[in-house]
Amino acid sequence: MECFLRLDKFLGEHNIGTRKQIKEYVKNGRCKINGIVATKSDVHIDENSDEISFDDVLLSYEKYHYFILNKPQGVVSATTDGKNITVLDLLKDENIKGLSPCGRLDIDTEGLLLITDDGGLIHRLLSPKKHVDKTYEVHLRDALSDADKAKLEEGVNIGDKKEDGSVDYTLPCMVTYAPCDDLGRPVILLSIHEGRFHQVKRMLKAVGNEVLFLKRISMGTLQLPDNLQPGEYRPLSQQEIDLLNK
């Protein structure tokens, strides 16, 4: 199936430069189509079959783009914001057109955030019917008792109501005890597949505890890499993309 795209648009999506800059680059003979120097920046190419190179580096066309970000505290999970730094601001070296965060992390929450322009994948990962697990590293004020652990796993009342006015308990989840942090605070790993407002914090409050620090460490098959520091990001590998799409 032929799929035609203007050369300047193709190069722009690879962050080669602005349309004006790209026009100058092509004029200077820096771009080739199937090994032949391009003469016009507005020529149409077949993104499925033509080989495009810039400064003799072969460029591949990607329909969708996928990045994993370790969101730091103080950054909002939004595309634009009038007051705060957004997660897209952290991807300043990328072509961010069309990119959106998959779900949201509170401004004071760190951790894994998928950013992509693949709307279908975002919908599948966030759909309550898909039951995609999200695991959080939760640092607590008080040690969690076995009784409170059982309550969390069964489902707790966090103040939400169903349409008929009855209590809308959280869905069953999984809680695992983890070693204390460097400050000696108790830590648990909490896996849920809902996405209610401030859900983790409200769940712990429902059993008389308080969340002091929160970090998401996984979403579905996607794991937060140990070497990805807060504020850092990288593209997903093809294997990671394939696993998410399964």
Q: Which residues are known catalytic residues?
A: 106
CB contact set of 165 (below 8 Å; sequence gap of 6+) = none
Host H or E run for residue 6? strand 4-6
Question: Considering only CA atoms, which of 32, 28, 34 is closest in space to residue 11?
Answer: 32
Pairing of strands 57-59, 52-54: antiparallel
Helix, coil or strand: residue 126? helix
From the list 138, 71, 73, 72, the residue with the least C-alpha distance to 101 is: 71
| Nearby residues of 89 by Cβ (< 8 Å), 6 or more positions away | 75
In 3D, which of 150, 149, 137 has the Cα closest to residue 181?
Answer: 137
For 13, half-sphere exposure in the C-beta direction (CA atoms, 13 angstrom radius) is 17
Half-sphere exposure of residue 136, counting CA atoms within 13 Å on the CB side?
Answer: 24
Interacting residues of 149 by C-beta distance below 8 A, sequence separation 6+: 175, 177, 188
